[in-house]
Amino acid sequence: MIETINLTKRYGDLVALNNLNLTINEGDCFGFIGPNGAGKTTTIKILATLLKPSSGQANIAGLTVGYQNRQIRPMIGYVPDFMGAYEDMVVTEYLEFFAAAYNIHGTQRKKVVSDVLELTDLGYKATAEVNSLSRGMQQRLAVARVLLHDPKVLLMDEPASGLDPRARIEMRELLKELRRMGKTILISSHILPELAELCNVVGIIERGSLLFNGTVEEALKRAKVGYVLHVGVTERIEDAAKVLAKLSGVKKVAIANDDKPDGKVGRVLHVTYDEASGASATDIPNVLVNNGFRLTKFAEEPVNLETAFMRLTKGLVQ
């Protein structure tokens, strides 16, 4: 559905995109991850036919951006990170205006506007002025606007930016519904746990170069370099660290703070363990007990999308 081939965008000496190669299949929800200035918005604007690439190619449904824009635009819906609304309109007027721009007229237009208001749960705000809406409602209205012509592809640049927790949850549920409807969605966001829940495919970009493109599971697997075990003992934690450091398969032992449910801060051992060594991590509790230690904690550190992002990127910006 979406494909970029060596997509490059330069602004003078600045390379915003460097030979970007992406493939997003029909029905995918693709999470685009990267620091500010990585090239996410530039990519989305090129796909939305708002920017011309310096070189390379971008295709949507087999049509080439820059050469077949008239055919592409009815197929896409673009939600920018900031909604530029006509503030003197009420919600229905705003939507009817854009529906008319898509040549939707008469009774069909009223039905389409009613349908998108229901889908985005904004029906009760139909007569409210756009500038009276909260940030979250304005973002939902922006989504309603791009759904008027029933596009196949949604390009969403930070749709949850600046939203409060409740509004983020409502936006997340709306995106889930759009995915169930079969829309192909490209969404950039800094809220990585939500992307992990929403998206089946992610891309990680830094300084205009794509570092990773694949499923969330593949990203987690690639970021996982051995086990990191959290091991707690009742006392003599420094001695326990020395015992574990001598074990086969243990690459590193560090003492770290451990937040407890009662709000107190304790200490725990972070044990980096190489599973490829042939040794078993289950030896650790036995060794500690045999050396007179009592365990209070033994758990593997979870690897999530935030962990993968931190391990696969270097923190570089343009």
- Claim to verify: residue 148 and residue 214 sit in the same structural domain: yes
Residue 192 lies in a domain: yes
- Claim to verify: residue 153 and residue 278 sit in the same structural domain: no
What CATH number should be reported for the domain holding residue 241? 3.30.70.1340
**pLDDT tens track for 46-57:** 999 999 999 999
The per-residue pLDDT for 317 is 45
**Integer Cα distance of 120 and 273 in angstroms:** 47
pTM over 0.85: no
**Integer Cα distance of 192 and 306 in angstroms:** 6
Residue 310 lies in a domain: no
| Structure-model confidence comparison of residues 186 and 315, the more confident one | 186
The per-residue pLDDT for 154 is 95
Q: Which domain holds residue 246?
A: 225-302
**Integer Cα distance of 44 and 60 in angstroms:** 12
- Claim to verify: residue 214 and residue 235 sit in the same structural domain: no
Q: How many domains does the chain have?
A: 2
pLDDT score of 134 more than 90: no
- Claim to verify: residue 217 and residue 229 sit in the same structural domain: no
The per-residue pLDDT for 251 is 83
Q: What is the DSSP string of 199-258?
A: -SEEEEEETTEEEEEEEHHHHHHHH--SEEEEEEESS-HHHHHHHHHTSTTEEEEEEEEE
Q: Which residues contact 162 (CB under 8 A, 6 or more apart)?
A: 135
- Claim to verify: residue 250 and residue 133 sit in the same structural domain: no
Among 37-51, 64-78, 149-163, 274-288, which is the least confidently predicted range? Answer: 274-288
The per-residue pLDDT for 316 is 45
At 199, list the tokens. Answer: 């998206």
Residue 155 lies in a domain: yes
- Claim to verify: residue 247 and residue 198 sit in the same structural domain: no
- Claim to verify: residue 249 and residue 215 sit in the same structural domain: no
- Claim to verify: residue 229 and residue 217 sit in the same structural domain: no
**pLDDT tens track for 104-120:** 999 999 999 999 999 99
Helix (H/G/I), strand (E/B), else coil: 186: strand
In Å, what is the CA distance from 51 to each residue of 39, 42, 63, 93, 179? 13, 8, 16, 29, 26
- Claim to verify: residue 155 and residue 285 sit in the same structural domain: no
**Integer Cα distance of 66 and 215 in angstroms:** 29
Provide the edge-to-edge strand list for the sheet that holds 55-60. 14-24, 2-11, 55-60, 63-64
Contact 218, 196 (CB under 8 A): no
Phi, psi of 179 (to 5 degrees): -65, -40
**pLDDT tens track for 262-297:** 556 678 888 887 766 656 777 888 888 999 999 888
In Å, what is the CA distance from 39 to each residue of 14, 216, 229? 11, 20, 35
**Integer Cα distance of 291 and 285 in angstroms:** 10
The per-residue pLDDT for 263 is 56
**Greatest C-alpha distance within the chain:** 82
Helix (H/G/I), strand (E/B), else coil: 159: coil
The per-residue pLDDT for 51 is 93
Helix (H/G/I), strand (E/B), else coil: 267: strand
Residue 14 lies in a domain: yes
At 314, list the tokens. Answer: 């270097």
- Claim to verify: residue 176 and residue 270 sit in the same structural domain: no
- Claim to verify: residue 138 and residue 19 sit in the same structural domain: yes
